[in-house]
């Protein structure tokens, strides 16, 4: 099975730099919304909060958080990803510190950040607890870990695993998680899960796949957000809000996430021992 290597990801991000970024690891602002909500009732909100993104990706989330007043650092071991982050930060006139380094051994002191987050990262580690343990090490006591991953029981996973078996998946080896597995992994690192969430993507994954296929094969660009039929859009949104309050919903979304808090009384090195 083809492994994900720095060279593989460098080629991936070089290609991404030539595409519309909504086609690459788009989160529709999900990570920014979840992190912003943590401090919604705090004076100053995100202003001055130290936030670390592990796995820089395209840098869009880091840039948006910096624009909201946070002090943001992003780390990645691939220059192509960090280049996209610098480019996005320059375009938004936002201050994001980029660091080239390994997420399993980050060059930051213990208890450095108020929030550590990543999206599209944990599933590439065969031993995910090692990454989470390092995440918790650099969290301040009382700080928040936000982790976003693919969900097991979704047709996206079936297609992905078929491509992995054929050695055709763009990311090499990759896994997925149920919400119970993800919550348990977070708790094992000495954190308390305060919220679990899921995201169906709007428009849906089937439309996004069709959009990419049409662009690749015919060179035509369909809109990312086609104009909806108003009555259907309102009905769909009402149903999503109702169903999202049920835990069952977390077994139907293509992506899930947890927000976990490091115990406020934790010592500087307790996360590494948990």
pLDDT in tens, 244-260: 899 999 999 999 999 99
pLDDT in tens, 8-47: 666 766 666 545 555 545 567 899 999 999 999 999 999 9
How many CA atoms, within 13 angstroms, populate the side-chain half-sphere of residue 188?
13
Of 146 and 78, the structure prediction assigns the larger pLDDT to 146
Question: Which two structure tokens, joined as six digits, stand for 166?
Answer: 């054929």
Which DSSP helix (H) or strand (E) runs through 116?
A: strand 113-119
End-to-end CA distance of the chain: 32
Whether the per-residue pLDDT at 271 is higher than 50: the answer is: no
pLDDT in tens, 177-213: 999 999 999 999 999 999 999 998 766 666 666 666 6
3-state secondary structure of 147: strand
Whether the per-residue pLDDT at 116 is higher than 70: the answer is: yes
Of 32 and 217, the structure prediction assigns the larger pLDDT to 32
- Taking the domains of the chain in order of start, what are their residue ranges? 6-204+253-264
Distance of CA 170 to the CA centre of its chain: 17
Whether the per-residue pLDDT at 89 is higher than 60: the answer is: yes
| Pairing relationship of beta strands 96-100 and 191-199 according to DSSP bridges | unpaired
Q: Which CATH number, 3.40.190.10, 3.40.50.170, 3.40.50.150, 3.30.230.10, labels domain 6-204+253-264?
A: 3.40.50.150
Average pLDDT over residues 44-68: 94
Q: Which of 80, 149, 77, 148 is nearest to 115 (CA)?
A: 148
Whether the per-residue pLDDT at 273 is higher than 50: the answer is: no
Whether the per-residue pLDDT at 269 is higher than 60: the answer is: no
- The predicted structure's pLDDT at residue 232: 74
pTM of the model: 0.85
- The predicted structure's pLDDT at residue 274: 35
- Measure the CA–CA gap between 34 and 179, rounded to whole angstroms: 16
């Amino acid at each position: 099975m083809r492994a994900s290597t720095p060279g593989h990801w460098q080629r991936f991000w070089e290609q991404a730099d030539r595409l519309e970024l909504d086609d690459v690891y788009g989160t529709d602002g999900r990570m920014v919304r979840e992190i912003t909500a943590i401090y919604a009732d705090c004076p100053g909100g995100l202003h001055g909060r130290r936030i670390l993104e592990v796995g820089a990706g395209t840098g869009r989330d880091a840039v948006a958080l910096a624009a909201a007043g946070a002090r943001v650092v992003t780390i990645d071991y691939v220059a192509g990803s960090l280049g996209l982050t610098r480019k996005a930060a320059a375009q938004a006139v936002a201050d994001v510190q980029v660091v080239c380094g390994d997420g399993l051994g980050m060059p930051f002191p213990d208890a450095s950040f108020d929030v550590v987050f990543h999206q599209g990262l944990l599933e590439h580690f065969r031993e995910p607890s090692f990454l989470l343990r390092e995440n918790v090490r650099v969290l301040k006591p009382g700080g928040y870990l936000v982790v976003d991953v693919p969900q097991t029981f979704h047709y996206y996973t079936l297609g992905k695993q078929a491509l992995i078996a054929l050695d055709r998946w763009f990311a090499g080896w990759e896994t997925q998680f149920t919400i119970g597995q993800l919550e348990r992994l977070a708790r094992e690192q000495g954190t308390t899960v305060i919220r679990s969430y899921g995201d169906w993507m709007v428009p849906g994954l089937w439309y996004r796949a069709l959009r990419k296929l049409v662009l690749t094969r015919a060179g035509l660009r369909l809109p990312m957000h086609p104009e909806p039929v108003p009555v259907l859009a309102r009905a769909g949104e009402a149903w999503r809000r109702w169903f999202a309050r049920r835990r069952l919903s977390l077994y139907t979304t293509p992506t899930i996430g947890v927000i976990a808090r490091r115990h406020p009384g934790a010592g500087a090195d307790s996360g590494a021992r948990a």
